[in-house]
Amino acid sequence: MRAVVVAQPGGPEVLALAEVPDPVPTAREVRIRVVAAGLNGADLSQRRGFYPPPAGAPEWPGLEVSGIIDALGSEVAGWTVGDRVCALLSGGGYAELVTVDAGLVLPVPDDVDLVEAAGLPEVAATVWSNVVDLGRLAEGEALLVHGGSSGIGTMAIQVGRALGAEVVATAGSDEKAAFCRELGAHAAVNYREQDFVEAVRAFTDGRGVDVVLDIVGGAYIARDLDALATGGRILSIAVRDREPASVDMGLLMRKRASIQGTTLRARPLEERVAVIAGVRAQLWPLLSDGRIRPVIDSVFPLEDAAAAHRRMESSAHRGKILLRVGDVGGR
């Protein structure tokens, strides 16, 4: 099969198509003939040499795919060959075939485009496990989403809105802020022009937000705490600001707040399976009834993976960037 491999750490130009062996499913795995794969920030870090795949995962990037099941392990139940699915992976999604534990697979509803479904597993799992599970976002509370026009951000805005929360998003331009409002954010802040802490206080009449989904880290953590309501929760899921975070512990205690850092890829299999089960039970009904949807920026052919990475690094995108790998019937 064809796969996009990383010849050596570096820029997008190091991505190259290569022939690699077809994967064979183990007893508890399914094999998926890939129709599309989603791009994620972790793919860029892996390409640069900073985020190696975990033991046992393929060496090439790709944390989520959509496609058609074409083989089943001997112990797999609940899935059949020919099912339309999407799946959360530990790696290897930039390829024509993937194998994955059956517990990490999700059905694609009939009215959801199979290509666009490749943009769902990673963002749905990340948002559910953080905003809903750990963050315990409830109806009537307020959610602050950093990077609201990103793949994660677009899902978090929709989920927050569907749960009955007030949603504030940050974005890097007036156009992206407007895009966030169109998607459902009650308020959106161009962080290059406006202090998001002041904007949050104005929007919440000084109360602050109950949950923050942070993809920046560093100096943002202290500002998140300033924007937080009493009893609020900060979920830190990525680090773009490499400076160490500095937190006023007195303020943290006075607000009876919490800060939790999480990752998804590095979790044990049983934890990731539990996350996907929660996504299927709690978020998938929102997908089926149209209250959430995949937000797709662009789709590139598999052989143009380097261009897709450049698009993502430009930060010009709104929503998910996908790689088109194959058709329902194959290449």
DSSP output for 65-105:
EEEEEEEE-TT--S--TT-EEEEE-SS--SBSEEEEEGGGE
Lowest mean pLDDT segment, chosen from 73-82, 88-97, 233-242, 289-298: 233-242
DSSP output for 142-208:
EEEESSTTSHHHHHHHHHHHHTT-EEEEEESSHHHHHHHHHHT-SEEEETTTS-HHHHHHHHTTT--
Residue 201 has pLDDT above 80, yes or no: yes
Residue 103 has pLDDT above 70, yes or no: yes
Chain centroid, CA 321 distance in Å: 11
Q: Could you tell me the pLDDT band of residue 245, with boundaries at 50, 70 and 90?
A: confident
Chain centroid, CA 180 distance in Å: 16
The pLDDT value given to residue 218 = 86
Beta bridge partners, 296, equal 320
Average of per-residue pLDDT across 305-329: 93
The two tokens of residue 66 are 């959509």
Please write the tens of the pLDDT for every residue from 283-313: 999 999 999 999 999 999 999 999 999 999 9
Q: Could you tell me the pLDDT band of residue 330, with boundaries at 50, 70 and 90?
A: very low
Residue 331 has pLDDT above 70, yes or no: no
The pLDDT value given to residue 329 = 52
User: Which of the two residues, 217 and 28, has the higher pLDDT score?
Assistant: 28
Q: 1 burial class (0-12, 13-18, 19+ CB within 10 angstroms)?
A: middle
The pLDDT value given to residue 244 = 82
In whole angstroms, give the CA distance from residue 212 to residue 219. 14
Half-sphere exposure of 82 (CA within 13 A, CB side): 0
The helix (H) or strand (E) run that includes residue 251 is helix 249-254
Residue 294: closest CA among 138, 106, 130, 34 = 106
- In the DSSP assignment, the letter for residue 330 is B
Average of per-residue pLDDT across 219-230: 94
pLDDT over 90 percentage in the chain? 89
b (16+ CB within 10 A) / e for 217-245: bbebbebbbbbbbeebbbbbbbbeeeeeb
CB 121 within 8 A of CB 299: no
Q: Is 206 left (phi over 0), alpha (psi -120 to 50) or beta?
A: left
Helix, strand or coil, per DSSP, at residue 32: strand
CB atoms within 10 A of CB 87: 28
Residue 153 has pLDDT above 80, yes or no: yes
Average of per-residue pLDDT across 278-284: 96
In whole angstroms, give the CA distance from residue 171 to residue 177. 5
The pLDDT value given to residue 213 = 97
In whole angstroms, give the CA distance from residue 243 to residue 293. 35
Residue 246 has pLDDT above 90, yes or no: no
Q: Which residues contact 289 (CB under 8 A, 6 or more apart)?
A: none
The pLDDT value given to residue 320 = 97
